[in-house]
Structure 1
């Protein structure tokens, strides 16, 4: 069974002391591909370094909405240059976050839109963060139409059916993470049953959102297997089928990843 963790923050300090062991456990669990998204300009450089040093690990580069209030001069030009690296496979993690509101909402929207347009110029998909900002995220995607270019993914999806359908209609993929395994996530599991098969992805969002029964502990990419199991159970299919579906979908979206 081959697994693809499409969103894992290996550059986080919580992996500083045992990254090699974390990756070894991932391989033992069948995780053969991992995408590591940045959150600011400094981590853009860091995720590329990690991708260079480890087989099967790839980078996404971008400015997270929590970093949108402090974008260094020349950052977009540098990100555009870094996007040419052979192991950079997406622009992300970008989006809007109205829960923390770390930057004014118009600023977040401007930073996201600039990066969507950058992604379209360089021919890469986007990885979208959305927290309590759904209508503005969907409006921006409808206006900028990245789904008509290289596409993108709604990372750590945790929304209702109508939002899923609107995102899919805009050409986006839907990625499920640890919350799919939580006991009170029946509504999310119901949505997971009806996502079009060719739009399904899985992730861990490590070190965050560890799935049941590890909730509250540091998450790591090996546990994407538990997300796959929950998705398979929701859809009533074998887990190896979900693994293969999400493997194919991730390679289709992240076209620079080696098959």
Structure 2
């Protein structure tokens, strides 16, 4: 069994064949998915997707690209949204200094609101960080001293310092199809050294399709290719990766129900 820990099933790219996408995922052994909230306007659509399938869970949050739309986002607003039993994580949130679609200071303010919710609910913090390793690390370490929370570095492409800082907080690292790309040696190096009990896998679909589908629309079935590459990097069997990453997911997202034990 595989778990795709980060999908964007509300994307318009699935408008014509969402049912077929899910059927292919199940046929590939992907039994559980976490569909991610990118902005508050998407919440209703994401909720409908999660409510339609017992093995699809969801998060609540605002991606840094959309932080400018929610400059006054309060922890209280997000906190109320976490009351739904299918909400298992907070985010995707964080800092993106590559595209900078939102003002940096607003990104930081919105990020801190998510951290407050993660700390107060015990739900994992799903972090997007790009070209902002130092700033992300500084915020996480400073906030962690105020009270613990569990960070997840999603679709990780950063350096070892931020990865090690998150691991030191009891956090996890998620790897996507990027680890199959030829020019992703630095990411594979992080995957090689990260503890197997702190790793999960994802597609981030419809983006970042792994080899051999690179350049096409991504979908949850392709997370198997991420697992295969991770098995190669770690020098273990595919079954061991499937078992470890699934166990890690349900340990991290403890509200989600493991279909193997349901």
Q: TM-score when scaled to structure 1?
A: 0.95
Instruction: Tell me if 1:252 matches 2:218.
Output: no
CA displacement, residues 55-76 of structure 1 (integer Å, 9 cap, x when unaligned): 2100011011111111176765
Query: In the TM superposition, what is the alpha-carbon distance from 1:47 to its structure 2 partner?
Result: 1.3
CA displacement, residues 17-74 of structure 1 (integer Å, 9 cap, x when unaligned): 1111100000001001100111110112221111001121000110111111111767
Contact 1:25–1:222, Cα closer than 8 Å, also in 2: yes
- Give the secondary-structure state (helix, strand or coil) at the position aligned to 1:39: coil
Instruction: Tell me if 1:193 matches 2:192.
Output: yes
CA displacement, residues 150-202 of structure 1 (integer Å, 9 cap, x when unaligned): 51210001123333222211222010001101122223222211101111110
Distance 1:149 1:163, change over 3 A: closer
CA displacement, residues 86-141 of structure 1 (integer Å, 9 cap, x when unaligned): 10000110000111111211111011001110222222111000011111111111
| Structure-1 separation of matches of 2:145 and 2:236 | 31
Matched residue, 1:88: 87
| Structure-2 separation of matches of 1:147 and 1:24 | 44
Matched residue, 1:183: 182
| Structure-2 separation of matches of 1:148 and 1:194 | 27
Greater CA drift, 137-146 or 86-95: 137-146
Contact 1:125–1:146, Cα closer than 8 Å, also in 2: no
Distance 1:124 1:147, change over 3 A: farther
Give unpaired runs (5+ residues) of structure 1: none
| Structure-2 separation of matches of 1:138 and 1:222 | 32
Instruction: Tell me if 1:21 matches 2:23.
Output: no
Q: TM-score when scaled to structure 2?
A: 0.94
Distance 1:45 1:72, change over 3 A: farther
Matched residue, 2:110: 111
Greater CA drift, 148-157 or 4-13: 148-157
Give unpaired runs (5+ residues) of structure 2: none
Instruction: Tell me if 1:202 matches 2:201.
Output: yes
| Structure-1 separation of matches of 2:149 and 2:28 | 30
Q: How many residues align?
A: 258
Contact 1:116–1:146, Cα closer than 8 Å, also in 2: no
